[in-house]
Amino acid sequence: MSPSHPRPVRLGLRWERSRISIAPLVWDAALTIYIALGILYILYHNERTGRPEGASLSIVVAALLIALEAAVVSTCLLDGAGPRITKLALVRAEGGPATARDRLRRLLAGHLMGAGCLLLAMALGAGLVAYTSLGEWYRALTPALQATVIGAWCTTVVVLGVLASGVVHPTGRPWHDRWARTWFDSRVGRAAEARVLPWYRQSVWWIGIGAIALTYWVGWRISEIDVKELGNGLSSVRPLALALVQPDFSILRNCAWAMVETVYLALMATTFAVPLAVVLSFLGARNIMPRTVVGTGVYLIMRTIFTVVRSIEPIVWAIIFVVWVGLSPFAGMLALMVHSVAALGKLYSEQVENIDTGPVEAIRATGASAIHTVVYAVWPQVVPPFVAFTLYRWDINVRMATIVGMVGGGGIGALLIQYQGMARWNEVALIAWLITMVVWLMDISSARIRERIV
C-alpha cells in the first residue's frame, strides 16, 4: 500500500465522528428485521391455518426480498449513491473511484463470502444438532420455531464471519474486499454526494416498495379477505334490509327517552371533562411549563397520561366503570368523561403551544407575573379554539354514548343491543334511524357554531 492510498475504513468496527454515518446501518438492520418478521408471520400463519399451499410462494417472495436487500447493501448503497449513505464510497485498491465492473466484482465477492459463511453455518449447525444434546431441544420445536432458529443461527455466523475476516487482517479490510481489490473510503464519498441517481437506481426506493408490498400482502392474509363471501352472504341480510324501511314505531316513546338520556349523558361527560382538560392542558404545554427538571417532568407526565388514556377506547373505560359503579348511565358518563379529558387535553395543549408569542412577550415586559401572563396573553388566544374543540367533542360523545351504552353504560345503546340480541330488526331499525337523526342534527349545529367562532 503506497502512502498516497486512502486509509481503509473498518466498517462498523471503528466509528469516526461525523465521517462515517452509522445511521444507514441501523436503518438497514431495522429493515432486515422487519422483513424477517414478515416471513416469520407467514410461516406462523400457514401453520395455524393449516394451509401450506401459500408456503412455497411466501418463501420465494421472502427470498427475493432478502436477495434484493443483500444486493443493494453490497453494491450501490455503500457506494455513496443512495441517499442513505453519502459518506462512504467504494474505491479501487489502486486508488480512484470504483467502476461498474469493480462494483460487480465486489458484489460477487461479497456473495461468495456470504455463501461460504452460510455453508460453514449450516455444516456447523448440522454437526451441533446431530452430535450434541442441542439436537433434542431442536427437534422438540415447532417447524416455525425451527425455521427461526436456523435463520438466526445462519445470520449470526455470516455476520460474525464477515466481521472476523476484517478484524484478523492488519488492514482491517474483510477478505471479500481484498478479493475484489476495492474498499470503502469516507473521503472520496463526499464527492459522490453531489451525484444524484435516478430513483430506480436508488436502493431505498426498491427496499421501500418491497417493504410496502410485504406489508399489504401480510395484511391481506391477516384480514382473511374473501370477496366470494360478500356474494354468498347477500341473502341473509335481506330481512335486515327490509326491516330498515319498516321501523317499528310502537317503541318510539321509550326510545326517545333513551335517546334523551344519551344526549344528556354526553353533555354531562363533556361538561365535567372541560375544566379538568383545561387545567391539565396548560400543564402539558411545552411553552407554558418552565424548562426546569420539574417543569419538563410535569409536561412529560401529562403528555404520557393524555396519550395512554386516549388510546384506551371509551368502550373499554365503560367496561371498567360498569364493574366499578354498576350498570347505569353514570358508568357511561364516567367512561366518556375520562376519555374526553385526555382527548381534549391533548387538543387544548396543542392550541396552547401554537399561540402567538408576541403578546406573551409584551405582557411579560409589563412586569406581570406568570399567572397574569397566562390569563392575559395566552387565555384570550386559546378560548375560541377551546370552544370549538369542546363542541366537537360533545358531538363525538353523543355518538360514543351509543357505543358505551351497548356494554351497560345506559341510554339508547343499551336498547339497541337488547333488540339486536333478540333479532327484532324492525325495532333495531327505528333506533338506528333515531340515532342517525340525532347525530346528524348535532353534527350540523356544532359545525355551524364552530364556523362562527373560529
Partner 1 sequence: MLTVEGLSKVYDDGTPALSDVNLEIAEGEFVVLIGLSGSGKSTLLRCINRLIDPTEGRITFEGDDVTAARGADLRRIRRRMGMVFQQFNLVPRSSVLRNVLAGRLGYPGAPLSLLGLWPRPMVRMARGCLERVGIADKAQNRASALSGGQQQRVAIARALMQEPKLILADEPVASLDPATSDSVMRYLGEMNREMGLTIICSLHFLSLARKYGSRIIALKDGRMEFDGLPSDIDDALFKQIYGEDAVEVKIR
* Contact status: 377 vs partner 1 (CB under 8 A): yes
**Of 294, 275, 298, nearest in space to 285 by CA:** 298
Side-chain half-sphere of 106: how many Cα atoms within 13 Å? 29
The closest of 429, 402, 397 to 414, measured between CA atoms, is 402
In 366-416, DSSP assigns E strands to none
Taking CB under 8 A as the rule, does residue 264 contact partner 1? no
**CB environment 196-208: b (16+ within 10 A), e (fewer):** eeeeeebbbebbe
Nearer to partner 1, 225 or 383 (CB): 383
Q: CA 309: distance to chain centroid?
A: 18
Q: Which of 362, 441, 444, 454 binds partner 1 (CB under 8 A)?
A: 362
CB of 341 to partner 1, least distance (A): 24
Determine if residue 182 is left, alpha or beta; phi over 0 gives left, psi from -120 to 50 gives alpha, anything else beta. beta
Among 212, 383, 437, 441, binds partner 1 (CB under 8 A): 383
Q: Is 6:185 a contact under the CB 8 Å cutoff?
A: yes
Q: Least separation, in Å, of the C-beta of 379 and partner 1?
A: 9
Sole binder of partner 1 in the list 49, 366, 436, 445 (CB under 8 A): 366
Q: Closer CB to partner 1, residue 289 or residue 363? A: 363
In the complex, the smallest distance separating the C-beta of residue 382 from partner 1, rounded to whole angstroms, is 10
Residue 368 binds partner 1, judged by CB under 8 A: yes
Residue 364, interface with partner 1 (CB under 8 A)? yes
Minimum CB distance to partner 1 smaller for 444 or for 454: 454
* Shortest Å distance, C-beta 22 to partner 1: 24
CB of 274 to partner 1, least distance (A): 18
Pairing of strands 182-185, 89-92: antiparallel
* Distance of alpha carbon 306 from alpha carbon 291, whole angstroms: 20
Q: Does 403 bind partner 1 (CB under 8 A)?
A: no
For partner 1, the binding residue among 52, 201, 361, 436 (CB under 8 A) is 361
Among 164, 254, 359, 443, binds partner 1 (CB under 8 A): 359
Here the cell at position 207 is 427496499
The least distance separating partner 1 from the CB of residue 343, rounded to whole angstroms, comes to 25
Q: How far apart are CA 34 and CA 31, in angstroms?
A: 5
369 scored as a contact of partner 1 (CB under 8 A): yes
Say if residues 343 and 300 touch (Cβ distance below 8 Å). no
Residue 315 CA to residue 295 CA, distance in Å, equals: 33
- 295 makes contact with partner 1 (CB under 8 A): no
Binding site for partner 1 (CB under 8 A): 358-359, 361-369, 371-372, 375-377, 380-381, 383-384
